[in-house]
A and B are shown apart, each in its own frame.
Chain A
Amino acid sequence: MFVGIIRTIRFAVQNFSRNLWLSVITVFLLVLTTMSMTLVGTLNIIGQQVIHTIQDKVSIDLYFYDSVSEKDIIDTQNFLQSLSGVADLVYVSKDQALEQFKEKHADDPEILSSLSEMEENVLPASLTVRARSIDDYPHIIRAFQASPYSEFIDRTDYSDNRAIINRVTTLTHKAYDIGLGVSLIFIIISIVVIFNTIRITIYSHREEVGIMKLVGATNWFVRAPFVLESVLLAVIASVITLSLFYVLLYGSDPTITAFFEGQFSILHYCTEHIWRIVAIEFGGAILLSVASSMIAITRYLKK
């Protein structure tokens, strides 16, 4: 068996170099295909990340009247806590609000001095409500407004990023669909090209194949060299795609990381999932390649 494998590999390598141009074109197309699929995948990850980031920024800020007592605030807090969909609540007291304000404007002496001129703390106490999912906000707001606690609230800030989220979602979906369509076209072209490449290889080896069949080589032995050649094409293509992809990642990572304000690095993400990416890349290319070569061989052997 082992001898067989070495012979088969030699055969595959020989074929590759014998039909060099054909091999190069086939590899090129496979690279295009796997690259477009990889980019679609990456785009999807980035899109999800964008939505995630925006979702994280959504919250409801409830500002209390200065007259509201500590107990009422705690009651409000308890009520909100009891609502389904509420993930967490952050309470900022009047004093804390002042501290935060001072900190924020530490470099601005004018604001600070005008603040110190004021006799009392004008900043309100507030409660920041964060929902588990973006879709929970409407009913949280409704439930709260229907409750008696809404009386305590002077002003509500609902940073509704819904419109942006919807836009991002539509955009990523559209990009994903287009990418998928392009990939599909490449997949079909690849299948056709690999199919033909292997058919040409078989044709240029038709005498060998004929002899193999007549001397009693098993079907698998006849197939193996051609399948292995398609695997070789796929492996070469995957290596090229992965290298290109990483070059692309290195190039674009600073921009993407800056976009996410340092919260997300695509390079970091891909490095973390490197084995999965390698497996998908190689697996996909090999699957595609082997499937089309098998069709070519089976069709030839049936004749």
Chain B
Amino acid sequence: MITFEHVSKLYEDGTVAAADLNFTIEPGEFISIVGHSGAGKTTIARMIIAEEKPSEGRIIIGGWDISAIKRSEIPVLRRQIGVVFQDFKLLKKKTVEENIAFALEVCGAKRKKIRKIVPQLLRIVGLEEKADKFPNQLSGGEQQRVVIARALVHRPKILVADEPTGNLDTITAHEITDLLLKINQLGTTVVLVTHNPEIVNRLRKRVITVDHGAVSSNKKTGKYTL
């Protein structure tokens, strides 16, 4: 469960990116966070993974108050939350398989474990055939699948995806959202940040709309209404 309690975020330059956010995300839920550009969606995602600290209020994830998290505890949190970010790309010099393996290697995983997990993840995202390809040999959608697979290496309870369909055409975007739905069905809480109304409306899941850093609507099977 993710709980935001009176969360505000004031960036150093004085920008108010979050103003008194209050909402709860249940375990196993698929939630979309929508809003205009600059509304503060990415800021929410970054606060969930403790990349930014809230200026005020508390963020509680699985009973853990991460608003005052210590630097040394951040890796523990990150291993429980998978992330798909726009600027969080694949390594061009590594193959699909190596890119996924890298995320495990740098956390000190044993080779045996890596050999077991990587093919499983490739199957989940449907890229078994492309294991030895390099990122520039893949389509945009396929690359995004690899990024999603990499986000799942620690079998996280939560997956935060910020604009995972950003640069993709409609059909590919749908395929990616379907993949996220599948991951959600496998038991992972999915937090999808997007400004694409079509995707949100098709999902028929709960939608939190943010406007100027505040929640303007919070609907069960929401529609993207701006």
Q: For A215, give the chain B residue with the smallest CB separation.
A: B103
CB contacts (< 8 Å) of B51 on chain A: these are 214
Interface status of B130 (Cβ within 8 A of chain A): no
CB contacts (< 8 Å) of B85 on chain A: these are 214
Interface 1/0s, chain A 195-215, versus B by CB < 8 A? 000000000000110111111
Known interface pairs A211-B103, A211-B106, A221-B108; A216-B79 also in contact (CB < 8 Å)? yes
Q: For A218, give the chain B residue with the smallest CB separation.
A: B75
Interface status of A7 (Cβ within 8 A of chain B): yes
Q: For B107, give the chain A residue with the smallest CB separation.
A: A217
Contact in complex: A215, B111 (CB < 8 Å):
no
Contact in complex: B154, A208 (CB < 8 Å):
no
Contact in complex: B91, A219 (CB < 8 Å):
no
Contact in complex: A215, B154 (CB < 8 Å):
yes
Contact in complex: B88, A214 (CB < 8 Å):
yes
CB contacts (< 8 Å) of A215 on chain B: these are 78-79, 83, 103, 106-107, 150-151, 153-154
Interface status of A163 (Cβ within 8 A of chain B): no
Contact partner, A211, options B71, B88, B108, Cβ 8 Å:
B88
Q: When A and B form their complex, what is the total count of cross-chain residue pairs whose Cβ atoms lie within 8 Å?
A: 61
Q: For B79, give the chain A residue with the smallest CB separation.
A: A216
Contact in complex: B111, A3 (CB < 8 Å):
yes
CA distance in complex: A207, B79 (Å): 18
Contact in complex: A216, B77 (CB < 8 Å):
yes
Count chain B residues whose beta carbon lies closer than 8 angstroms to a beta carbon of A: 27
Contact partner, A217, options B91, B106, B110, Cβ 8 Å:
B106
Interface status of A1 (Cβ within 8 A of chain B): yes
Counting contact residues on chain A (CB < 8 A from B), the size range is: 10 to 19
Interface status of B225 (Cβ within 8 A of chain A): no
21 inter-chain pairs at a CB distance below 8 angstroms, sorted by A residue, are: A4-B108, A207-B91, A208-B91, A208-B106, A210-B88, A211-B88, A211-B102, A212-B106, A213-B78, A214-B49, A214-B83, A214-B88, A215-B150, A216-B74, A216-B75, A216-B78, A217-B75, A217-B106, A217-B108, A218-B75, A219-B71
Q: For A217, give the chain B residue with the smallest CB separation.
A: B106
CB contacts (< 8 Å) of A1 on chain B: these are 108
Interface status of B26 (Cβ within 8 A of chain A): no
CA distance in complex: A4, B113 (Å): 14
CB contacts (< 8 Å) of A217 on chain B: these are 75, 106-108
Interface status of B76 (Cβ within 8 A of chain A): yes
Interface status of B89 (Cβ within 8 A of chain A): yes
CA distance in complex: A7, B89 (Å): 22
Interface status of B15 (Cβ within 8 A of chain A): no
User: Which of B76, B102, B150 gathers most chain A CB within 10 Å?
Assistant: B102
CA distance in complex: A218, B83 (Å): 16
Contact in complex: B89, A207 (CB < 8 Å):
yes
CA distance in complex: A208, B94 (Å): 11
Interface status of B105 (Cβ within 8 A of chain A): yes
CB contacts (< 8 Å) of A219 on chain B: these are 71-72, 75
CB contacts (< 8 Å) of A207 on chain B: these are 89, 91
CB contacts (< 8 Å) of A214 on chain B: these are 49, 51, 78, 83, 85, 88
* Minimum distance in angstroms from B28 CB to a CB of chain A: 22
User: Which of A1, A7, A215 gathers most chain B CB within 10 Å?
Assistant: A215
CB contacts (< 8 Å) of B89 on chain A: these are 207
CA distance in complex: A217, B154 (Å): 11
Contact in complex: B103, A221 (CB < 8 Å):
no
Taking CB atoms and an 8 Å cut-off, the chain B residues in 62-94 that contact chain A are: 71-72, 74-79, 83, 85, 88-89, 91
CA distance in complex: A270, B107 (Å): 45
CB contacts (< 8 Å) of B154 on chain A: these are 215-216
Interface 1/0s, chain B 166-201, versus A by CB < 8 A? 000000000000000000000000000000000000
CB contacts (< 8 Å) of B49 on chain A: these are 214
CB contacts (< 8 Å) of B108 on chain A: these are 1, 3-4, 217-218, 221
User: Which of B83, B88, B108, B110 gathers most chain A CB within 10 Å?
Assistant: B108
CB contacts (< 8 Å) of A213 on chain B: these are 78
Interface 1/0s, chain A 1-37, versus B by CB < 8 A? 1011001000000000000000000000000000000
Known interface pairs A215-B150, A215-B153; A221-B88 also in contact (CB < 8 Å)? no
CB contacts (< 8 Å) of A218 on chain B: these are 72, 75, 107-108
In the A-B complex, list the 8 residue pairs whose CB atoms are closest, starting with the nearest.
A216-B78, A216-B79, A217-B106, A215-B103, A216-B75, A212-B106, A218-B75, A4-B108
CA distance in complex: A212, B91 (Å): 12
User: Which of B85, B107, B150, B151 gathers most chain A CB within 10 Å?
Assistant: B107
